[in-house]
Structure 1
Amino acid sequence: MSTEHRPALVRATLALEDAAVLDAPVRALRPHVTKLFGSGVRGRVLRGDWLGHALHPLLTDLVMGSWTSATVLDLVGGRDAAGSARTLVATGLLAAGPTAWTGWAEWSGSGPRDQRVGLVHAGTNAVAIGLYAASYLARRRGDHDTGRTLGLAGATVSGAGAYLGGHLAAARKVSSHHPAYDAG
């Protein structure tokens, strides 16, 4: 398919893969991320070697599922659902740390194009976490309207991050797995 017939989002994602401007931050982060999350027993556990495939997608489902459920309650649940929505936002926030750790473990073993996209994926998710944390705090103060607004902003940003994560997993095939799966 010629370049001009590719959807705009595909062209943008391919441009992100080619964005050499991200190489300096990747080089600066890579040794620290590898040491913290990608090497030794910790790296094997976080990548899901014990599971036979990557642990990261399993944990992203918990985070995204919690936040998506909170969004549904915010949109259709009314005031009666405010406490449940707050609990779901908190659940996603609690799962976000371990989810990020498993993502960094996968990132540390990926190639340059994938690390560029992964860096933007992580940055986007960090913004989403910040929005959801602010949403949770507003909800705890009893300001459900501000909490809902911040949660919807978080949902928008986390959707962009999820798109990039899906690209890494589905299109770029960045994911740990047991070698036995290669035989079939």
Structure 2
Amino acid sequence: MHRTTDGEILSTAVLRTVAESSTAERLAAAQRLVYGPILDWVRHSPFHTNALGHSVHPPLTDITLGSWMGASLLDLAGGTPSRHGATLLVSAGLLAAIPTALAGAADWTETEGADHRIGAVHALGTDAAVFLFLGSLVARLRGRHALGVGLAAAGNAVAASAGFLGGHLALTRGIAGRAGPTERGG
């Protein structure tokens, strides 16, 4: 465990910084403005359901992230014969990212305060990961395999960082269970 100078665990310091950030608040406001119609729709869509007893967003992330991680594992260990499989996995992850993002956006519509700011930064990070994987797919389809591999590795790193924030919201703050603010302690 890495601790900051005052003994605070680094991960806690990162979460606190994002949660209290005025920049994250401005980002959330911009996302509400840009994605307003989509947010209104997803809030009343099948992506906003408790059919599983909780949000559908966390299990959907397993499909997206699993596809992308699988592609990178094939890139590292599979050699030239695995390039087609890795390309298919990048594509599958991009397709799975659509319902995953919609379900996450639906959950985000019910947040406020620190959770809303953390969710906004989480969404920005996942958007960046999607664009890196889209670049990876384009590079692979154009025969620039090494560039595709590099973009996928960067995409996985960004997705892991964004996932840290999303995991905090889902597991620590209880967003995935859709508990009310008083039940989440906020």
Task: Judging by fraction of residues, say which structure has more helix.
Answer: 1
1:121 and 1:109 map into 2 onto residues whose CA distance is 15
1:1-184 paired onto structure 2 within 5 Å: 4-30=6-32, 32=36, 34-38=39-43, 40=44, 42=45, 45-176=46-177
- Partner SS, residue 175 of structure 1: helix
- Partner SS, residue 176 of structure 2: coil
Note if contact 1:47-1:53 (Cα within 8 Å) is conserved in structure 2. Answer: no
Note if contact 1:131-1:150 (Cα within 8 Å) is conserved in structure 2. Answer: yes
Counterpart of 1:22 in structure 2: which amino acid?
A: A
- Partner SS, residue 82 of structure 1: helix
User: Which has the higher mean CA deviation after the structures are superposed, 3-12 or 69-78?
Assistant: 3-12
Aligned length: 175
Note if contact 2:129-2:155 (Cα within 8 Å) is conserved in structure 1. Answer: yes
Instruction: Name structure 1 gaps, 5 residues minimum.
Output: none
**C-alpha distance 144-157 of structure 1, shift in aligned 2 (>3 A):** same
Alignment root-mean-square deviation, CA: 2.2
**C-alpha distance 135-171 of structure 1, shift in aligned 2 (>3 A):** same
Shift of 1:145: 0.9
**TM-score normalized with structure 2 length:** 0.86
Instruction: Name structure 2 gaps, 5 residues minimum.
Output: none
**C-alpha distance 48-178 of structure 1, shift in aligned 2 (>3 A):** farther
Note if contact 1:118-1:168 (Cα within 8 Å) is conserved in structure 2. Answer: yes
